[in-house]
Structure 1
Amino acid sequence: MSTDSGGAPYDAALMSAVADLGDALRGLVDASVRTAVPAADLQEVAAAVRTATGRLTAAVRPPGQLPALDDPVRFRRVYNPVAGVGSAFAPPLRLREEPGGVVGEVSFGLAYEGPPGFLHGGMSGLVMDQVLGAATIRAGLWGMTARLELDYRRPVPLDTPVVCRGRVTEAGGRKSVVTGTIALAEAPDRPLVEARAVFVLPREDLRAEYFARVTDASGRHAPPSRPTDATAPGAGE
């Protein structure tokens, strides 16, 4: 067993395998949208992928059951679609603390294309929800997304390093207001996307309702004490 930066234990061999598979799958997804090989090659690869899928589905977990490596209290979510090391969909974005908030650099490949050569606008929303949620957590606050607003100043280019930032600007009661940006890494002070979110901590009765069916990997009821899917900077590594 190993422990993360917060001291939470996890199976290091399983984590390594999950991260390795996630990296391989991200490479496959990227190759699948860039490839120009003949149809016959595509069919052979499709057959191989289906065989691999069969092996992976030999044992699966139901919705609501956390993976063995996840620890919501520590915000370790290995299959998170933005930051999860095991997710084929995640870029993945790795966030770290900076004075007043969080920051992370990432490049988006062709799998995230909207307008030709540029990032899909919906992906900007997904990423900024993650970044702003992480900034809220690092400020010692938490909640669920109640509102997310984005201003698209310029398109985000693909295959280009960009920097994502988030910081809490207001907090009181059950509500937090968080702002952030996406910018080119070479021009971090000129935002391509600006975001503002409101996170609200649900009432206790609603939290009990929302997470009534959540269990840990063994099937034991394990509702998150902090109802968020944001992955803390460094978690899952």
Structure 2
Amino acid sequence: MEMFVHDEIPSAEVDRREKVLSSLTDSVRDLVDATIRSTVADDELVAVRDEVDALVARLRVAQLPGPAGVRFNSEGRSWNWGNAVVGRGNAIAPPVLNVHDDDNATAYAEVTLGAAYEGPPGMVHGGVSALLLDQIMGETASGFKRLTMTGTLTLRYCRPLPLGPVRLDARIADENGRKITVAATIGVPGEEAAVEATGLFLIPSWAPIDETEQGWSRSAEG
């Protein structure tokens, strides 16, 4: 399966579809939260399950044969709606919207993590923290102008991270040819970091150092 698919859908059409899809995804994400926290009677749970099954059947009528992958057009617009962190069509994604400062090689994101991301009682699952950090670090390393892949990811869990609003910060610490080192943190906004991370990100040997030279780049859109 191709990792990146050239798809000549006009950007305006992609934006329109993404807006509609995002609204559905938000509702499904809300359904997940409601399912976790609901205390309704068993017969009501069964009734809701049957309704959900019927909705799933309607969506299965037309679907991709496999994962969504990353698609891009000649206008420089790309979309990755299935991504587990930023995918606009993925209810598992919080979703995170990473804000980049290419001049300073930094990025940050703020997101609220609810019941679906719980590990220890009332706390964010450590694996979720790692997932979010890997995403923002990878985006920081790539700068949306080159393809990078995680080589190593080292985490230091400093303190528990409560569910609720969290902030991620990432910066390029070093760059040497096809190797980019990124440092990042996640924690409660305005407080000390709960998790500190360092990662080595690699530009594959078959990929160009700067993809913008080939006329397209991956955008921050999910």
- Alignment TM class, shorter chain as reference: 0.7 to 0.9
CA shift for structure 1 position 150: 0.8
- 1:112 maps to what in 2? 117
- 1:165 maps to what in 2? 169
Q: Which runs of 5+ in 1 are unaligned?
A: 1-7, 208-224
Aligned residue for 2:79, secondary structure, equals coil
- 1:135 maps to what in 2? 140
Residue of structure 1 aligned with 2:63, choices 42, 56, 60: 60
Partners in 1 of 2:144 and 2:91 — Cα distance? 29
Q: Which runs of 5+ in 2 are unaligned?
A: 1-9, 213-217
Aligned-partner residue type, residue 193 of structure 2: P
Aligned-partner residue type, residue 197 of structure 1: G
- Sequence identity of aligned pairs in percent? 34
Task: Provide the alpha-carbon RMSD of the alignment.
Answer: 2.3
- 2:5 maps to what in 1? none
Distance 1:166 1:59, change over 3 A: same
Partners in 1 of 2:200 and 2:113 — Cα distance? 26
- 1:71 maps to what in 2? 72
Partners in 2 of 1:45 and 1:79 — Cα distance? 25
Q: Please tell me whether residue 23 in structure 1 is matched to residue 18 in structure 2.
A: no
Counterpart contact for 1:148–1:195, Cα < 8 Å = yes
Counterpart contact for 2:11–2:77, Cα < 8 Å = no
Aligned-partner residue type, residue 185 of structure 1: P
Count how many residue pairs are aligned between Structure 1 and Structure 2. 200
TM-score normalized by the length of structure 1: 0.77
Higher relative contact order (CA 8 A, sep 6+): 1
- 2:198 maps to what in 1? 196
- 1:37 maps to what in 2? 40
CA shift for structure 1 position 64: 5.5
CA shift for structure 1 position 75: 4.9
Task: Show CA shifts across 1:25-69 (max 9, x none).
Answer: 1110111111111111110111011001001111121226647xx
Counterpart contact for 2:68–2:82, Cα < 8 Å = no
- 1:219 maps to what in 2? none
Aligned residue for 1:150, secondary structure, equals strand
Distance 1:169 1:232, change over 3 A: farther
Aligned residue for 1:161, secondary structure, equals strand
Partners in 2 of 1:112 and 1:65 — Cα distance? 23
TM-score normalized by the length of structure 2: 0.82
Partners in 1 of 2:38 and 2:93 — Cα distance? 20
